Each structure stands twice: as structure tokens, then as C-alpha cells.
Amino acid sequence: MRGEYQELSCPFCDKGKIQAWHIPSVWMEKRSGRSSLGKGKKVIRSSDVWLIKSGCSNCGKCPEEVEKKLRELNII
């Protein structure tokens, strides 16, 4: 699984650092092998995946609270 660690600032206090694992979206091609209709293909895109690994070191918020706030603010 490809991805990278990123540090985000805390959405509550803007001083603490949050450790997050980010897996970017990828394009995938699916092919159908129906001989009567010819070979077709469909291209789909997977969504970004964010896994919050730690809470805020400054204000003490847990990872679940931080993830919920980041999703509300459309940061992740």
C-alpha cells in the first residue's frame, strides 16, 4: 500500500501537530471481456484515504475528535 506520513496542524488550537497517513487517489481501468459486445473498458477513480495516527500534543484532543473536525472543515 503506497502512502506517506504527513503532519497537519490541529484544527482546534492551530499549534499542535497531528500525525496522519495519507494514501492518494488512483485511477483504475476495468475491462470487460464479453465477446458478443466487444471489449469495453471503464475508468474509475478511488478516493483519498486519510488515517489519523495521533491526537493533538498541545490541547490533548483524541484522534477521533481531530478526524471529525478535519472532515467538517473539508481539510481531509
Q: What is the pLDDT of residues 40-61, one digit of tens each?
A: 778 889 889 999 999 988 888 9
Above 60 in pLDDT, residue 35? no
Q: Which domain holds residue 67?
A: 4-72
Overall domain count for the chain: 1
Q: How far does Cα 52 stand from its chain's mean position?
A: 9
List the beta strands (DSSP E) in 10-66: 17-23, 27-32, 40-45, 49-52
Q: Please tell me the pTM assigned to this model.
A: 0.69
Going by C-beta distance under 8 Å and a sequence separation of 6 or more, which residues neighbour residue 35? none
* 65 neighbors 54 (Cβ within 8 angstroms): no
Query: Band of the pLDDT at 18, cuts 50, 70, 90?
Result: very high
* 21 neighbors 67 (Cβ within 8 angstroms): no
Per-residue confidence (pLDDT) for residue 1, from 0 to 100: 58
pLDDT over 70, % of the chain: 89
**Average pLDDT over the chain, rounded to an integer:** 86
